[in-house]
């Protein structure tokens, strides 16, 4: 029974925190591959004719984790890969809140770092909040 609780805790608590930290670090060090992803998405929104290219980089850590029998790591990257791909390719499949959360990240890249959950950005105070304009 405890083993199942550990898996649930890992999947719903540890994974999102790790994902937030990894994504935050990519932005902090201005990673070229990740910045390219932002440019592709921005161009895709501007030019609807252009097809969105699926990111292939998560396949590398998935395969490496499977090869080394690190199945929990493979599960982490697979979860991220599926949700992130759906947000960009089939946005209506996932919740509207999660989709908006990530789309705002592409507009304001210093906010909303977690892709698969919203709560880590609330916890670390990186969730974008609209400023109320007083007329």
Q: Say how far apart CA 87 and CA 116 lie, in whole Å.
A: 10
Q: For position 93, what pLDDT does the model report?
A: 87
Q: For position 107, what pLDDT does the model report?
A: 82
Mean pLDDT by 10 residues, the chain (135 residues): 81 92 84 70 55 73 92 90 85 88 85 93 92 55
Q: For position 50, what pLDDT does the model report?
A: 46
Q: Say how far apart CA 28 and CA 24 lie, in whole Å.
A: 6
Q: For position 5, what pLDDT does the model report?
A: 86
Cβ atoms of 115 and 126 within 8 Å: the answer is: no
What is the value of pTM for the model shown?
0.79
Q: For position 14, what pLDDT does the model report?
A: 93
């Amino acid at each position: 029974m405890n083993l199942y609780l550990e898996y649930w805790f890992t999947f719903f608590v540890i994974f999102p925190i790790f994902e937030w930290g990894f994504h935050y670090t990519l932005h902090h060090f201005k990673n070229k591959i990740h910045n390219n992803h932002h440019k592709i998405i921005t161009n895709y929104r501007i030019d609807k004719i252009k097809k969105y290219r699926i990111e292939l980089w998560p396949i590398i850590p998935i395969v490496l984790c499977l090869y080394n029998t690190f199945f929990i790591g493979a599960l982490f990257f697979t979860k991220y890969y599926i949700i992130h791909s759906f947000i960009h390719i089939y946005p209506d499949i996932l919740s509207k809140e999660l989709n908006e959360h990530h789309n705002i990240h592409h507009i304001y890249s210093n906010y909303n770092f977690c892709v698969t959950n919203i709560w880590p950005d609330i916890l670390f105070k990186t969730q974008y909040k609209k400023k109320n304009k007083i007329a």
